[in-house]
Amino acid sequence: MAGLSDLKASFLQLLQKREVTVQQVTELYNSLQGLDADKKSILEQAFRDVTRDSMVKDKGSYSSYVSLSIQSAEKGVCLHTLPFILLGDVLDSVTLEQCKQVFTFMESQVHVWVAPAFYSAGKHLLLRMCNDILRRLSRSQNTVFCGQIQLFLVNLFPLSEKSALNLMSHFNLDNVTQYSKRASDKEDYPIDYNLYSKLWSLQDFFRLPVQCYSADKWKTFTESLTDVMEAFASYKLEDTSGSRKQKEALPPAVIDDSHYFAKYLTSERLMHLQLGDNHFRRHFLIQILVIFDYLTTEVKFKAANHVLSDAQQKWVQETTAKVYQLLEETPPNGPVFTAHVKHTLERERNWVSWKNDGCPSFIPDTATTLSVRGRKRQAGDLVSTPLQAKKLDLGNEELSRLWNLNPDNLKACKAENRVYVPELSSFFEEALEQFDPEAQIEDEYKLVNKPNFTWRALRLLSRRSTHFFQGTQATTKTLPDYLTAVIQQTAKDTTS
84-88, 132-136, 349-353, 462-466: which has the minimum mean pLDDT?
462-466
Query: Radius of gyration (Cα) for the chain, nearest Å?
Result: 40
> What would the pLDDT profile of 379-399 be if each residue is shown by its tens digit?
445 445 555 555 666 677 777
**CB 432, CB 487: distance < 8 Å:** yes
Cα dist from 420 to 51, 176, 345, whole Å = 79, 77, 55
In angstroms, the CA 17 to CA 14 distance is: 6
Q: Which residue has the higher pLDDT, 30 or 256?
A: 30
- Residue 147, pLDDT > 60, answer yes
Coil, strand or helix: which one is 114?
coil
Counting every residue written for the chain, the total comes to: 496
Coil, strand or helix: which one is 375?
strand
pLDDT classification of 6: cutoffs 50, 70, 90: confident
> What would the pLDDT profile of 193-243 be if each residue is shown by its tens digit?
899 999 999 999 999 999 999 999 999 999 999 999 999 999 888 776 654
Q: Report the greatest alpha carbon distance in the chain.
A: 131
Coil, strand or helix: which one is 361?
coil
**CB 73, CB 86: distance < 8 Å:** no
In angstroms, the CA 319 to CA 228 distance is: 12
Mean model confidence pLDDT for the chain: 82
Percent of the chain with pLDDT over 90: 34
In angstroms, the CA 381 to CA 375 distance is: 12
The pTM score is 0.56
In angstroms, the CA 295 to CA 289 distance is: 10
- Residue 97, pLDDT > 80, answer yes
Question: Is residue 252 reached through a cis peptide bond, with omega within 30 degrees of 0 on the bond before it?
Answer: no
Residue 332's nearest CA partner among 289, 252, 277, 284 is 277
Coil, strand or helix: which one is 132?
helix
Q: Which residue has the higher pLDDT, 66 or 382?
A: 66
Give residue 457's Cα distance to chain centre.
61
In angstroms, the CA 287 to CA 291 distance is: 6
Determine phi and psi for 484, rounding to 5 degrees. -60, -45
Angle of helix 96-108 versus helix 143-156 axis, rounded to 10: 30
Helix (H) / strand (E) element for 187: namely none
DSSP string covering 254-311, please?
T-------SS----GGGHHHHHT-HHHHHHHHHHHHHHHHHHHS--TTS-TT----HH
